[in-house]
Amino acid sequence: MNSELGIKYLLPEISLVASGIIALIIDLILKGKRKTPVALWNLFAIVLTAGFVITRWSISGYCMNGLARLNAVTNLFDMIFLATAFFTVLLSISYLERVGYSYGEFYGLLLFSVAGMFVMASAADLMVFFLGLELMSIPLYIMVGLFRTRKESNEAAIKYLLMGAFTTAFILYGIALVFGATGTTRLAGIAQALASGRDIAQSVIFLLAMILIIVGFAFKLALAPFHMWTPDVYQGAPTPLTGFMSVSVKCAAYAALIAVLAAMTPAAKEWTILLQFLAIITMTWGNIAALRQNNIKRMLAYSSIAHSGYILVGIVSYGNAASSHLSLSTVVFYLVVYLFMNIGAFAAAMVVAGEKDERYHIDNYRGLSRRKPLLALFISVFMFSLMGIPPLAGFMGKFQIFYAALKANMVALAVIAVLNSVVSVYFYLRVVLFMYMEKGDQPAKEIHPTLVELAVISLFALCIIALGLFPSVIMNVITNAVAGL
Amino acid sequence: MAGALILIFLPKNRESLLKWVALIISVLSFLLSIRLFTLFDGSQAGMQFVEHSGWLTFGDFRIDYHLGVDGISILLVMLTTFLTPIVLLSGWTTIKERLKEYLVFMLALETGMLGVFLSLDLVLFYIFWEVMLIPMYFIIGIWGGARRIYAAVKFFIYTMVGSVLMLLAIIFLYIQYKTLDITQLGGLINLPLDTEKWLFAAFFLAFAIKVPLFPLHTWLPDAHVEAPTPGSVILAGVLLKMGTYGLLRFCIGFFPKSAYYFKTPIAIIAVIGIIYGALVSLVQRDMKKLVAFSSVSHLGFVVLGLFAANTIGIQGGIIQMVNHGLSTGALFLIVGMLYERRHTRMISEFGGLSKSMPVFATVFMITALSSLGLPGLNGFVGEFNILLGSFTSIFYNNKVYAIIAGTGVIFAAAYILWWFKRTMFGSITKEENRKIKDISLREMIYIVPVLILIIWIGVHPMTFMSKTEATVNKLADKINRELGLKEPEKLNRLNLQIPSGTRDSLPGHSAMGDEKGSEARR
């Protein structure tokens, strides 16, 4: 485990940053309006990076003098980031051209952001984690404000930036206090220091540090009551980017959170209580607020808050030694499922939004099943999966989460989680209801999905069905990776 | 039932082709189930025709594709496959819009329902249980009446509330016993009453909503009234039985101790349901609502019988499930026929129909009599056994329930006969009713098999009850053993003899029934 790995194992990160710079250069060279070559280069870079990740799959150890940690689970997270980025680029090509904001930097920034996620997921030191966080976030602030002539896009960017600054402050202050309490920022060192004497884990300064760091995470993960920015930012950002943020930013933050929590195992009792509390508020708030939304993007934003809460339920059971492996694989599996459901849902919302990118109101879904039966069917698959209706992937994900919670003896938490998923039925069902049971008034010609968009959406819907029927395909990979820790 | 999949790939514009394919598929599955029924050995208590293969190992879970039938499920499987072709025929001309989707949903629904009755793996059971929500939701929501959306959403959410807690209970059982096999779990469960009570409650809530028992029944009238006729028939005929089936299989089969603990409130709820449902039916002006509330009443009987937890009560409960499926299903078909002709379901719109549509009146008469429990028809067999079962039940040890429930039969006679009188007899008050067409050939084709079964069960219930006897005996024995209830030896034997007793006493009744039938025909 402790073998020092050479720099060649960092090829994925290097290739991401390098490709990002190349993407910016290509963008400079290209004179015309069409930025498709940059996007194609991006796709190529992502596939290349994925290849590099696969070559280091079975490697486990520390890099860069113990600052980064590589193992099968971090690689798994890396693959999730890459998959999300890949589909985001695919969807962005037509979308950005349609709305007339086809900027090449978008693609370069996306790669930088993914590199930041890589760093976050494999950080073995709080400072490295912090660097990764910033590398991930700063490109996102720019991309959220991409539509610079739109008011809501500017609002979103400023909100996101300010909230990001808060997050940074909380986390930095927390890290400083951790350093004060334990004398190190290395995760392994923190674990050692905590294990050596109970009094550090119980000391006020350490508890305060832990709370600050968790609050910082809560901002990034959009956990209630630190979620206020989410609906506005998700609404204002370009739709493919919203899908990207809702999945991979969360995924990166969860990856880092798990590593940080693992280092703080001696204080597991304390953070379990804290996270349990956050999970309950997040699920309930997210679901109840989503009931009132008429804008599909806002509804999905609140739904993503609620799902963040479900994932947190899985993480809460991580503190229980008996179920920590189970809980980790549960969380990773849920994130994979969530990737398909959420990006699929946002992609569909993007298609329905039409030429002018403005048809996000639920009224625009009236009678969609008559005009675009296939699209309506796929949206229904996403909605039923988000509800957690079997035999779709969303059910399998939730099923595992509930299982992990019950296994860790958290019955009350599990009961609140399932009741929440009943509440969520209402607003997901509403979309289906508008599509199938209401009479439509808009002409169909406004919706022109391109071939790529349709292919991505149908691929995701099929994946959801396939993962619902045969979850073991992915689950085995995950459990093997987790077991190797 | 791969049938639904085939349908999806058929072209949309060939409507008649679609209909025929769907019908043939459903008839085929009915024929298969008849074969199953004749091969089924009623003297064995365990599962038969077990189909078992690993489906997936998922993390720690092993979920199996594990199906089988026993005495409890065989009749319900039959009922499902029997009603599906009938339902398809009943919607033959009324469903014109989005026909393909409708047929796909219908067959998917049949698959889900059969899956529920056949599953021997708890998670598989749960999956089928939930899957069937989706087609039903669409059937009510797309092809339903004016308030269909409200009804569909209410139906969906009510069912979800109950079932998610059941899911937790299933997971909990798995953590305790490391198996999801229903046949094994029954013998394994041995928890302290405090824990068991909660598990029981989680399962009970899911099933009580589905049945539906008295305070949880409010989704039912809405769903029934708004659903199209085929939807109502399936809903009343089979879907509600999933609730009572679950009560028997899980609540009583898994947790007899808790069932005993909760027996008084459950019996009271059941009896309230019987009386309340009957009284509310009495004042309905909408025929569909009337039938819907009569369902609440009938299913109260079923629950009362099941929780009597002796052989005769449970057998009565099972047979009554089938009866209710047949007679209430038929009543919905009849209401549907009237609605097709007049586009209204208000009782006041009709009157004196027996003059303009005599054959229809006969059919209606038989169904109505079966629903109110006339000896010689099926309803009597079920209700009699249930009342006898709960009267002699050691479990309740209280005869009051049976006595009060007995009055429910009187109310049933009142609301049904009054309804019949107001629509069929008297003078024709509305001009439209004078020219109303009598029953058509297609309608005859689908209603006559139901009538045949109604009379068959009434005259010779042993054909069906013999299949259930061994399983139910074993279950009742198990309950008595686990609770340490000493059932007096002679009473136990009496219980065993009663089904045959009913058989002996039936020829007399059947003659009477036939008389009535022929009377009505004249």
HEC secondary structure over A154-215? HHHHHHHHHHHHHHHHHHHHHHHHHHHHHCCCEHHHHHHHHHHCHHHHHCHHHHHHHHHHHH
Question: Above 60 in pLDDT, residue B513?
Answer: no
Nearest chain B residue to A403, by CA:
B171
Q: Clarify whether residues B230 and B294 are in a common domain.
A: no
Q: Say what the pLDDT of residue A346 is.
A: 92
Higher-pLDDT residue of B516, A230: A230
**What is the pLDDT averaged over residues B361-390?**
83
pLDDT of residue B427: 75
Provide the residue range defining the domain that includes B58. 1-168+219-245
Q: What pLDDT does B516 receive?
A: 38
The nearest CA of chain A is from the CA of B161 a distance in Å of 6
User: Are the C-beta atoms of A360 and A297 separated by less than 8 Å?
Assistant: yes
Selected residue of A283, A399, A400, A430 to mutate for chain B interface (largest B Cβ count, 10 A): A399
pLDDT, one tens digit per residue, over B323-350 is: 888 888 888 888 888 888 877 778 777 7
Q: What is the pLDDT of residues A268-289, one digit of tens each?
A: 888 888 999 999 999 999 999 9
Whether B198 is covered by a domain: the verdict is no
In the block, which residue shows the tokens 């079964």? B453
- Tokens 């980790």 label which residue? A328
Of A103, A95, A41, A84, give the one whose Cα is nearest residue A450.
Answer: A95
CB-based contact, B202 to chain A, within 8 Å? no
Query: Does residue B495 share a domain with residue B383?
Result: yes
pLDDT value at B7 more than 50: no
Residue A161's pLDDT band, with cuts at 50, 70 and 90, is very high
Burial B436-460 (b: 16+ CB within 10 A, else e): beebeeebeebbebbbebbbebbbe
The predicted-structure confidence for A50-91, as pLDDT tens digits, reads as follows 998 988 888 888 888 888 888 888 999 999 999 999 999 999
Residues B280 and B374 in one domain: yes
Q: How far is A473 from chain B (nearest CA, A)?
A: 9
Q: What is the 3-state secondary structure (H, E, C) of B244-288?
A: HHHHHHHHHHHCHHHHHHCHHHHHHHHHHHHHHHHHHHHCCCEHH
B214: in domain:
no
Q: Which amino acid is at B177?
A: Y
More confident residue, A24 or B45: A24
Question: Per the CB < 8 Å rule, is B168 touching A406?
Answer: yes
Q: How confident is the model over B122-168, as pLDDT tens digits?
A: 888 888 888 888 888 888 888 877 788 888 888 888 888 888 889 99
Judged by a CB distance cut-off of 8 A, whether residue A472 touches chain B is yes
Burial call A292-310: b when 16+ CB within 10 Å, e when fewer: ebeebbbbbbbbbbbbbbb
Which contiguous run of DSSP H or E holds residue B122?
Answer: helix B122-131
Helical axes B311-342 vs B489-521, angle rounded to 10°: 20
Q: What are phi and psi of A449, to 5 degrees?
A: -70, 135
Q: From chain A, pick out residues whose CB is under 8 angstroms from the CB of B57.
A: 472
Asked if B171's CB is within 8 angstroms of A406's CB, the reply is yes
Q: What is the per-residue pLDDT across B211-224, written as a single tens digit (0 to 9) for each?
A: 888 788 888 888 88
Quote the DSSP letter at residue A439: -
Is the pLDDT at B9 greater than 70? The verdict is no
Task: For residue A416, count other CB atoms closer than 10 A to its CB.
Answer: 18
pLDDT of residue B495: 45
- Is B185 part of a structural domain of the chain? no
- Is residue B216 within 8 Å of residue B276, measured between CB atoms? no
Positive or negative, the CA dihedral B169, B175, B180, B185 is negative
Identify the closest residue of chain B to A480 by CA–CA distance.
B59
> Which pLDDT score, from 0 to 100, does residue A444 have?
56
> Which among B379, B454, B453 is positioned nearest to B409, based on CA atoms?
B379
Residue A176 touches partner B, C-beta closer than 8 Å: no
Q: Are A470 and B56 in contact (CB under 8 A)?
A: yes
pLDDT tens across A120-152, in order? Answer: 999 999 999 999 999 999 999 999 988 888 888
A vs B, Cβ pairs < 8 A, gives 86
When pLDDT is averaged across residues A424-433 and rounded to a whole number, the result is 89
Q: B232 and B294: one domain?
A: no
B60 in a structural domain: yes
Q: Are residues B120 and B268 in the same domain?
A: no
pLDDT at A253 over 90: yes
Q: How far is CA B383 from CA A11, B89, B369, B387, in A?
A: 76, 30, 13, 6
Residue B187 lies in a domain: no
- Percent of chain B clearing pLDDT 70 (strictly above): 83
Q: Taking CA atoms, what residue in B is nearest to A333?
A: B59
Q: How far is A438 from chain B (nearest CA, A)?
A: 9
For residues B432 and B361, the model is more confident at: B361
- Measured between beta carbons, the chain A residues lying within 8 angstroms of B161 are 419, 422
- Residues of chain B with C-beta less than 8 angstroms from the C-beta of A472: 56-58
Subunit contact B168:A418, Cβ cutoff 8 A? yes
Count, in order, helices (H) and strands (E) of chain A: 21, 3
Q: In this structure, what DSSP letter does residue B1 have?
A: -
Shared domain for B500 and B371, answered yes or no, is: yes
Q: Is the pLDDT of residue B292 over 70?
A: yes
Averaged pLDDT, A216-221: 91
Type of residue found at A404: A
pLDDT, tens only, B194-251: 888 888 888 988 898 888 887 888 888 888 888 888 888 888 888 888 888 888 888 8
Q: Which of A441-445, A455-459, B438-442 has the highest mean pLDDT?
A: A455-459
Could you say which DSSP state residue A3 is in? P
Is residue B233 domain-resident?
Answer: yes
Domains held by chain B: number:
2
Determine which of A381, A418, A426 to mutate to test the interface with B (most B C-beta atoms within 10 Å). A418
pLDDT cut 90: percent of chain A above it: 36
**Residue A330, min C-alpha distance to chain B (Å):** 8
User: Which DSSP string do the residues of B10-49 spell out, in sequence order?
Assistant: S-SS-HHHHHHHHHHHHHHHHHHHHHHHHH--TT--S-EE
Within 8 A by CB and 6+ apart from B508, the residues are: none
Render pLDDT for A88-105 as a digit per residue (tens, 0 to 9): 999 998 888 888 877 888
d(CA A121, CA B130): 37
Q: Which residues contact A360 (CB under 8 A, 6 or more apart)?
A: A235, A295, A296, A297, A349, A352, A353
pLDDT of residue A44: 92
Pair of tokens at residue B165:
């807690």
φ/ψ of A163, rounded to 5, equals -65, -35
**Chain-chain contact of B58 with A472 (C-beta, under 8 angstroms):** yes
Whether the per-residue pLDDT at B55 is higher than 80: the answer is no
Question: Does some domain include residue B195?
Answer: no
CB contact under 8 A, B175 and A403: yes
For B131, the closest of A391, A403, A479 (CB atoms) is A391
Kindly state the tokens that stand for B448.
Answer: 């006559």
Looking at per-residue pLDDT, the higher value among A442 and A250 belongs to A250
- Look at residue B203 and tell me if it is in a domain: no
The predicted pLDDT at position A129 comes to: 92
SS3 B61: strand
Compute the average pLDDT of residues A222-241: 89
Once rounded to an integer, what is the mean pLDDT over residues A195-224?
Answer: 86
Q: Is B165 on the interface with A (CB under 8 A)?
A: yes
Closest listed residue to residue A382, CA positions, set A350, A418, A416? A350
Domain stops at, among B184, B210, B245:
B245
Q: What residues in A contact B153, CB-CB < 8 Å?
A: 426, 429, 433
pLDDT at B16 over 90: no
Gap from B133 CA to chain A (nearest CA, Å): 9
User: Touching check for A400 and chain B: CB below 8 Å?
Assistant: yes
What pLDDT was estimated at residue B501?
A: 41
**Token code pair at residue B204:** 């009970």
CA angle, A252 then A253 then A259, to 5°: 95
Which of the residue ranges A388-402, B277-291, B483-497 would you say has the lowest mean pLDDT?
B483-497
Tell me the helices (H) and strands (E) count for chain B, helix number first.
24, 2
Distance CA B278, CA B217 (A): 13
- pLDDT at residue B59, as a whole number: 61
Are the Cβ atoms of B56 and A389 closer than 8 angstroms?
Answer: no
Q: Tell whether B412 and B467 lie within a shared domain.
A: yes
Q: Are residues B233 and B268 in the same domain?
A: no
Task: Kindly state whether residues B226 and B319 are assigned to the same domain.
Answer: no
Chain A's closest residue to B198, CA to CA, is A411
Average pLDDT over residues A22-51: 86
CB contact at 8 A, B178 and A407: no
Measured distance CA(B315)–CA(B302) in Å, rounded: 10
| pLDDT tens column, B294-322 | 888 888 888 888 888 788 888 888 888 88
Q: Are residues B86 and B231 in the same domain?
A: yes
CA separation for the pair B292, B220 (Å, rounded):
7
Minimal CA–CA distance to A297: which of A368, A362, A356?
A362
Residue B4 has pLDDT above 60, yes or no: no
Q: How confident is the model at residue B505 (pLDDT cuts 50, 70, 90)?
A: very low
B61 in contact with chain A, both atoms CB, cutoff 8 A = yes
Enumerate residues 286 to 345 of chain A having a beta carbon within 8 A of any beta carbon in chain B: 326, 329-330, 333
| Same structural domain, B341 and B374 | yes
Tokens 């997270």, located at residue: A77
Set of chain B residues whose Cβ sits within 8 Å of the Cβ of A438: 149
b/e code A379-394 from CB counts within 10 Å (16+ = b): bbbbbbbbbbbbbbbb
Q: Note the pLDDT tens digit of each residue in B399-427.
A: 778 888 888 888 888 888 888 888 888 77
Q: A391: which chain B residues are within 8 Å (Cβ-Cβ)?
A: 127, 131
Q: For all residues of chain B together, what is the average pLDDT?
A: 77
CB-based contact A396 B160, cutoff 8 Å: no
**Most confident residue range from B46-60, B169-183, B497-511:** B169-183
- What average pLDDT does this structure show over A1-6? 65
| Residues B143 and B279 reside in one and the same domain | no
